[in-house]
Structure 1
């Protein structure tokens, strides 16, 4: 029998447990349906290395993900979700769900967010991460422009939670850039999976900070400094033995390039640059999001720590106006980029707002090489007051030439 550790820290006092609790040798500690009565009771379970069967672990994790989805649907804020304990009920259907990760980018975002929130208490994390990585790479290969569109749109929506969107988008930017630079596939795979978990050491705090209007306190500053090391330790606790992944996560913020393994230097540079680029484009309570063009100039065109070759590769891979971000045209219309063009400053765009600031009932593809439809300036997502219809975007996108 295979046993999986129970996330004792995420158990709520007084709630019945939906699984039998065992020790690693198979001795029954608690029957299903019994509650945790006190903090001392939790300490006792920790002391006995409380476990559950692998099938119970997978089902309980599925129940947790469903609970998080319901909370989001019902409008719960990120801080409430971050404090959520493990659910007290497991459905029968939770036991028969396949191991493959299904759905699209927002489904992946939801699954990854649950894992990052659990941190060191995550259930069967390596299997789940493998499924997320496999599905994300399939979706990215199928349509890179759609991947960027959905994830940049999600980045502007704080209600979805920031940590998982940041991780997925950073991973996508890393993969596109590394491929442009000609890195071998095995190096790109370790870079991709490192990006997915680089901030696992502060995932809940990362989401809370996007909503915080006050300045960082000393504890938060300390966590930001130390989260790469914490993240590497969490991954080691999961059973990650890949020295390269641990090295990339541990040093992904480090500017002193003499630290860490020399063979991972290029991967660490790519991840650090992608991480900064995505972060600058994310909205905060304390500031507006930076435009993609501004973020590009700040991070990989104007930075002394980013090589010209890396900056050019990332700019070409993502564009100065990536899919999912907004621009204003010379004729006054506001448009959303839907695909990258032949050059970084030449995206395919679809107009969604009239010059009079009215939402268009039918979105219109615009050729920006036509002077009247040329890009005048980038537009922050906060200044777009409509909800963009992906169905209308895809329909207009199909009308583009070529």
Structure 2
């Protein structure tokens, strides 16, 4: 271990650390990718470790790149304040290397905070540090998808069906997670391909986020300008991503073609076209699950049916992968059981049609004192149909529902 002392003023605040931070005795203080939010937090960390150090044997190229950039800024006469606020991306791969902001993936995150964060980011793509925030959100979603799969699906399904004010961001997160899950667990894509797909889904509508939120609440017919924006938003999103520095051809092509309607085998297409098809199928599912000013959200089964069959009414390979990954009755959706009870799906089951559920309404349609777990693989409690959220007369807050997981 070769420890080198760091100047506190040169450690970036509000951005992922470009290397591991250790104490003067080598004790781990913060992992690479951890986001130090304030000078006070940094000072407290320094007091705990006597000094803040980096192990150059451990950090290798990332520390050398950091020091090189630091020295270059000093030579240019940059102030310490400017240096400290600079985003250091140090491994040569650009912002894609940004680590998740979630430091304990075993704990339940605040999904309302994540929703607000995504909404603010996607509505302001020209803001400073946008790409860093985008990659941090993507990294968080990937981590939660892997560590808390059912709870993540549950939260995003619930938020999508609950309100319209932040529709675009919530929809983008749901489509991103559903696509990544199908690509990773069903189609066995590489991690790089899964990651690229997730980022493409998050940014598919980046050129019209604010208008998409407006349309979700609009009861009047579309204006000519709105029609034109919708028709050109794929190309406009690609151009905006290029201006933001995105160079990945698969990412850009997937966004460009995410509304293409071309039925046929998935595996014979180039990977970017496969990504676009998965996004297009998941986009249909997510849109049908969300409310509009002019209609209520559909049951999960009806939403899934729109993804499962292609434009020629045949089974769609991408849609089938989504259903296999998420289940016919996705976590967060509502179902009616053979017992006559109404339940919320809490977890995917061993088969797409046998989820784990918690009963919210009894046979008489009255709210239960406490949600009761049911195994729908048992004949007495098998799912007989999906239920639209408007027919569920009791509405528990998301935080309470997540305790059922």
Q: Which residues of structure 2 form unaligned runs of 5+? A: 1-9, 11-80, 88-98, 103-108
Distance 1:314 1:211 in 2: 28
Following superposition of structure 1 onto structure 2, how do residues 172-251 of structure 1 map, counting pairs within 5 Å? 172-179=177-184, 180-251=186-257
- Deviation string 1:296-322 (CA, Å, 9 cap, x unpaired) is 222223543886432321111111110
Q: CA deviation at 1:371?
A: 3.2
8 Å Cα contact 1:362/1:392 also seen in 2: no
Correspondence for 1:348: 356
TM-score, structure 2 length as denominator? Answer: 0.69
Distance 2:232 2:197 in 1: 20
Which segment is superposed worse, 103-112 or 273-282? 103-112
Q: CA deviation at 1:250?
A: 1.6
Distance 1:53 1:255 in 2: 48
| Corresponding residue to 1:135 among 123, 130, 140 | 140
Q: CA deviation at 1:146?
A: 0.5
- Deviation string 1:49-105 (CA, Å, 9 cap, x unpaired) is xxx9687799xxxxxxxxxxxxxxxxxxxxxxxxxxxxxxxxxxxxxxxx9634444
- Deviation string 1:364-402 (CA, Å, 9 cap, x unpaired) is 0012233332222211112223222556545544xxxxx
Correspondence for 1:94: none
- Give the direction of change, closer, same or farther, for the CA distance of 1:366–1:100 in structure 2 (3 Å limit): closer
Correspondence for 2:63: none
8 Å Cα contact 2:349/2:355 also seen in 1: yes
1:115 has 2:143 as partner: no
Correspondence for 2:61: none
Distance 1:283 1:349 in 2: 23
Distance 1:395 1:250 in 2: 39
Distance 1:379 1:128 in 2: 36
Q: Which residues of structure 1 form unaligned runs of 5+? A: 2-51, 59-98, 398-402
8 Å Cα contact 2:257/2:273 also seen in 1: no
Q: CA deviation at 1:144?
A: 0.7
The number of equivalent residue pairs is 306
Following superposition of structure 1 onto structure 2, how do residues 8-157 of structure 1 map, counting pairs within 5 Å? 101-102=101-102, 103-119=109-125, 121-157=126-162
8 Å Cα contact 2:145/2:181 also seen in 1: no
Distance 1:268 1:369 in 2: 34
- Deviation string 1:1-38 (CA, Å, 9 cap, x unpaired) is 9xxxxxxxxxxxxxxxxxxxxxxxxxxxxxxxxxxxxx
Which segment is superposed worse, 164-173 or 263-272? 263-272
Q: CA deviation at 1:188?
A: 1.0
8 Å Cα contact 1:175/1:192 also seen in 2: yes
TM-score, structure 1 length as denominator? Answer: 0.70
- Give the direction of change, closer, same or farther, for the CA distance of 1:169–1:257 in structure 2 (3 Å limit): same
Distance 1:257 1:312 in 2: 13
Task: Name the SS for the 1:327 alignment partner.
Answer: strand
Q: CA deviation at 1:178?
A: 0.7
1:286 has 2:294 as partner: yes
Q: CA deviation at 1:267?
A: 1.1
8 Å Cα contact 1:57/1:123 also seen in 2: no
- Give the direction of change, closer, same or farther, for the CA distance of 1:395–1:199 in structure 2 (3 Å limit): closer
Distance 1:283 1:320 in 2: 20
Correspondence for 1:378: 386
8 Å Cα contact 2:300/2:334 also seen in 1: no
